Amino acid sequence: MTRRGPRGDIDQRVILDAAMRVLKREGSISAVSLRMVARELGVAPNAIYTYFQSMNAVWHEAKERQLGLVLPAATPDTACGRCGLRGLLEGIAKTHSGELLDLFQHQSRLGQESFEFAEMLLSYAQTAGVAPRYARNIILIWLSGRASLGRQRHLENERREQMRLELGGGYPLEAEANSIAADDDFETEITILLNGLELYCTCGNDPAGKLPAAAN
């Protein structure tokens, strides 16, 4: 239930919306302060404390809300653990990449939606070659890592290629790496991740996840 305080023009939802706008604009949680969110709303910082004890509390509720919005739409209807996990991660990491992935890095505590998400990961990982809890942890680390990489401008293909050319060219392997589209990068990462977890396709819809012949 949305909590309202003495002001009728702001509530938890309005504050969370403002925090997400500022996060999208600034690019990282570490760059966002409570004062910035208050400025976005046109209120004094103390007004936010009526609803949240700290920015950590704001980010916790923001992550829970974002997961609550994303999970129903991103959860695939399949009995195949690999395809289910692939669909879930694609729905989160591609459709809601920036802000939600950043929020994954800021998990000071877990709420109901976080446990719902973890339960899905554990369910899909039941047939993995590693213990489901290891699979869950590796996946969460990968999601957090994507958030970190997204903030490293020197890792962007276009920027790296520009700097390579400014040095007179050369470095053919770097040029080849820079030519790979971001979407291809993502698909490759997912394949490597799932294969590394030994989570193979049981429905035939993912040829890259076919059980190796030696394992048959």
- pLDDT at residue 91 is higher than 60: yes
pTM here? 0.73
| pLDDT value for 184 | 61
Query: Each residue of 16-47: pLDDT tens digit?
Result: 999 999 988 887 788 899 999 999 999 999 99
> Judging by beta carbons within 10 Å of its beta carbon (0-12, 13-18, 19+), is residue 76 exposed, middle or buried?
middle
Task: Give the orientation angle of helix 182-196 with respect to helix 132-150, to 10 degrees.
Answer: 160
Query: Each residue of 137-169: pLDDT tens digit?
Result: 999 888 877 767 666 655 678 888 999 999 999
Tokens read off for 163:
């700097």
How confident is residue 63, by pLDDT bands cut at 50, 70 and 90? confident
| pLDDT value for 167 | 94
How confident is residue 130, by pLDDT bands cut at 50, 70 and 90? very high
- pLDDT at residue 179 is higher than 60: yes
How confident is residue 134, by pLDDT bands cut at 50, 70 and 90? very high
User: Rounded to an integer, what distance in angstroms lies between the CA atom of residue 95 and that of residue 74?
Assistant: 9
Higher pLDDT, 53 or 156: 53
Higher pLDDT, 18 or 7: 18
Q: What amino acid occupies position 25?
A: R
Average confidence score pLDDT of the chain: 83
Q: HSE-up of 52 (CA within 13 Å, CB side)?
A: 23
How confident is residue 4, by pLDDT bands cut at 50, 70 and 90? very low
Higher pLDDT, 188 or 98: 188
- Stretch 196-204: mean pLDDT, rounded? 93
Q: Token pair 């709303």 is at which residue?
A: 41
| pLDDT value for 182 | 65
| pLDDT value for 211 | 82
3-state class (DSSP) for residue 4: strand
Percent of the chain past pLDDT 90, that is, above it, reads: 43
